[in-house]
A = this chain, B = another copy of it.
């Protein structure tokens, strides 16, 4: 990178001054929320680098990329789930889950990026999930007729880079699994799909690349190989559990294949809750150790409890995608996850579907000791609920402490509902006719056949 390039403007990664903690209120950790002077983020650019929502660094320093950070032993906090969050905000269509909102409603995408940045994310992923050409025109989702894949990918890069500059974040350009692979297209065809997105990432000069949300390690390896053509660092995550990928390749072996394909960071994302994901990453780690390979570890689990999931993850749960609410993680669940991920040696710690900004903040707060600072959004959040000491009601003030929240077993308020569900478990995977994709909308006749075939029934009222 040339001197004076954008990256050199990044705020430095210096040690924190201890003095900042002198007047910490009750329960507040002795780490600064940075920057101390609250600056509305939408005015940040007028102020230049010094006022950026960043990490409290006090002097200029060379910008560091994802691998430099991880190699130095730093914790890198990822961001949360865009499609689920933006669906709830009204900008993404559940079903196709495609990211055309980057073009249609850039302000909404920008705002979500900002919130994750404030919450502590060190990486902003471009909102390019399922932005491959074949997905934008799958099963009646006629996005591609109005907006080209290139337009979507470019808009997403622009937004992410714009917001990243407001802080000290890296931009990761992301690709994910394709309908083409599922429909049996060959390696060359599938790689060509990835390459279309990669061309945009290269042009927009993102900081690194992420191949995420792959159910089959074979396709993920193809993605990694394609992304490596750029020369940038590549991270790769599968959406698998301890049983391995949908073709039955165990996690340890998956990890080996991804590293051999060129990934520097490997792990899992989506499909399972933190506990299940960490068990899976542990198996990956052991696989790498057995193969004497090295890579950084990464986890971006769901913010939903899924102890009852089968191999296919939360997609199989009867509650997916419109009744997952009772499963949403609390911030305290996330703190537990962050600690356990850290203890397992994972240093790229983020979330996926269901992770809202406050979940990401919980990662940053749990690991504030290790990181030495709190994220900007902690200006509005006392650790372990200590701001409740300002509540009007005395019994709520009595909850302003760690032991309370750490030990609470929250009720659902749903006594007519069960605790666990039987997953759908159709057991079809790549190769099954039912998984062949089509550009046209699913017909009424096709739907009727599916309705008839629906096997899950355990918590449907007859």
Contacts and interface: CB of A to CB of B under 8 A. Distances in A.
Contacts of A3: none
A85 B395 CA distance: 23
Interface string A350-381: 00000011100100000000000000110011
A107 B40 contact: yes
Nearest to A146: B38
B404 A460 contact: yes
Contact of A447 (B397, B412, B416, B455): B397
B409 A424 contact: no
Interface stretch (A69-77, A226-234, A289-297, A314-322): A314-322
A40 B392 contact: no
B385 A319 contact: no
Contacts of A356: 88-89
A187 interface: no
A222 interface: no
Interface string A380-415: 111001011111111111111100110111111111
Given A26-B447, A319-B410, A413-B306, A106 B40 contact: yes
A247 B343 CA distance: 29
B89 A434 contact: no
Contacts of A410: 318-319, 323-327, 414, 417, 421, 459
B418 A139 contact: no
A205 interface: no
A42 interface: yes
B118 A358 contact: no
A45 interface: no
A409 B106 contact: no
B42 A106 contact: yes
Residue of A395, A405, A413, A451 contacting most chain B CB atoms (<10 Å) = A413
B388 A95 contact: yes
A140 B390 contact: yes
A24 to B, nearest CB: 12
A55 B435 CA distance: 39
A185 interface: no
Interface string A420-436: 11101010100000110
Contact of A90 (B324, B361, B387, B424): B361
Interface string A426-462: 1010000011010001101011001101111111111
Nearest to A428: B394
The size class of the interface chain A forms with chain B is 35 or more
B95 A408 contact: no
Contacts of A245: none
Interface stretch (A235-243, A256-264, A278-286, A329-337): A329-337
B421 A139 contact: no
A92 interface: yes
A421 B458 CA distance: 15
A419 interface: yes
Contacts of A414: 305, 326-327, 409-410, 412, 419
A190 interface: no
Contacts of A404: 454, 460
6 contacts: A90-B361, A94-B381, A140-B389, A321-B396, A393-B426, A401-B447
Given A323-B405, A389-B447, 16 more contacts: A26-B442, A89-B115, A90-B357, A90-B377, A93-B381, A93-B387, A93-B390, A95-B389, A108-B114, A319-B408, A323-B408, A325-B410, A326-B327, A404-B460, A412-B412, A415-B419
The 9 closest A-B pairs by CB, nearest first: A305-B413, A90-B377, A95-B387, A398-B450, A323-B410, A415-B420, A95-B390, A326-B412, A325-B328
